[in-house]
Amino acid sequence: MRDTIFCVFSVLTTLVLAIVSLRYVTDFYLLSFFYSFQVHLAAAGAVASVAALLVKRHWYGLLTLAVSVVLAVHGIVMMREFVEPAVEESRPALFRLMSFNIENDNFANGPDIADMVIASGADVVNILEAEPLLSELPRLLKIYPYYIGCGVGMEQCDTLVLSKRPLIEPRIRNLGLLWRNRLTISTIDFDGQKVNFLAAHLTKPYYDEFHGLEVWDLAEVIPTLSGPLVLAGDFNTSILAPDVQYLMRTQGLGTASLEPATWPIHAGAFGIPIDHVLTRAPLRLKSVRRIENGFGSNHFGLMAEFVIDR
């Protein structure tokens, strides 16, 4: 009986570790979902290995435990690679940004989300799957008179960018081949300091190879924009995904020291960050926090503050 239990633990652990380890061999789209959970799955593998060793002491249990620890540690190292230096708390923020995928059928919570946006104090607001806010636009525009999306630049209401300051040369373009109008590009002048804003909504990574094509499009757009830049939105994957790692390395993007988990919402702090706020120097993140109320969405929203290194 002990041998059978040990065998079951070992087989399941081996399968999980093998799937995660394939990231070092191939960026196969059907496995991208698991790559984002590398740290979680490796931790689960370590727990399962310990459980197997408690049932029966065997060298194979020690091997799976060692592999689990290596994968977990390397996952943490990869996440820390893009962390920007901390900003002094006393430094005033240049602006505040909210980014939130509110879920396109979340109409019952549209008024409450609009109330939250108005009270947030954010200078710029990215709303993805924004259809529930279409009816709330008149009162939102009293606080945020400048916007793109939801009838401006696109007929549909998927991506909505609201701003208290004028949007300079706002435009919308497609990402990849699956969805239309999921990238907005604009520039905002903050008292003489211009900042480029990109709001992106990427498809799920296991939808064929569309996610990789969308990342490739972002890698072509970003170099065309000079100066400080922020890329925010729903990537549907963590920065552990190989294609996102490629984007951040090639484009010099940075992130906060600890990205807040935003999905799945029921997992709370034990979820993964698939919604991101990324910056390019000289723009830096002062802080990024999770909006704790999900307002009926399947994502948590993010609120971020920024500074400029002059």
pLDDT of the residue at 37:
93
Instruction: Inform me whether the pLDDT recorded for 94 exceeds 90.
Output: yes
Instruction: Inform me whether the pLDDT recorded for 3 exceeds 80.
Output: no
If asked whether residues 37 and 102 sit together in one domain, one would say no
If asked whether residues 208 and 277 sit together in one domain, one would say yes
**Spatial separation of the C-alpha atoms in residues 125 and 247, rounded to whole Å:** 23
If asked whether residues 238 and 131 sit together in one domain, one would say yes
C-beta separation of 304 from 232 below 8 A: yes
If asked whether residues 157 and 253 sit together in one domain, one would say yes
pLDDT of the residue at 152:
67
The count of structural domains within the chain is 2
**Token code pair at residue 134:** 């279409």
pLDDT of the residue at 154:
67
pLDDT of the residue at 268:
85
If asked whether residues 3 and 144 sit together in one domain, one would say no
If asked whether residues 36 and 128 sit together in one domain, one would say no
pLDDT of the residue at 1:
76
The arithmetic mean of pLDDT across residues 234-254, rounded, is: 94
Residue type, 92: P
pTM of the model: 0.92
- HEC-encoded secondary structure of the chain: CHHHHHHHHHHHHHHHHHHHHHHHCCCCHHHHHHHHCHHHHHHHHHHHHHHHHHHCCCHHHHHHHHHHHHHHHHHHHHHHCCECCCCCCCCCCCEEEEEEECCCCCHHHHHHHHHHHHHHCCCEEEEECCHHHHHHHHHHHHHCCEEEECCECCCCCCEEEEECCCCEEEEEEEECCCEEEEEEEEEEEECCEEEEEEEEECCCCCCCCHHHHHHHHHHHHHHHCCCCEEEEEECCCCCCCHHHHHHHHHHCEEECCCCCCCECHHHHHHCECCEEEEEECCEEEEEEEEECCCCCCCCCEEEEEEEECC
Q: What are the tens digits of pLDDT across the range 178-202?
A: 788 899 999 999 989 999 999 999 9
If asked whether residues 164 and 279 sit together in one domain, one would say yes
Q: What are the tens digits of pLDDT across the range 139-159?
A: 999 999 999 988 766 667 888
The arithmetic mean of pLDDT across residues 283-297, rounded, is: 94
If asked whether residues 25 and 125 sit together in one domain, one would say no
**Token code pair at residue 95:** 């602006």
The arithmetic mean of pLDDT across residues 51-62, rounded, is: 90
* pLDDT confidence tier of residue 283, bands split at 50, 70 and 90: very high
- Rounded to 5 degrees, what are φ and ψ at 104? -70, -15
Q: Is 303 inside a domain boundary?
A: yes
* pLDDT confidence tier of residue 310, bands split at 50, 70 and 90: confident
Angle in degrees, CA 61, 65, 67, rounded to 5: 120
pLDDT of the residue at 153:
60
The arithmetic mean of pLDDT across residues 29-43, rounded, is: 90
* pLDDT confidence tier of residue 90, bands split at 50, 70 and 90: confident
Residue range(s) defining the domain that contains residue 58: 1-81
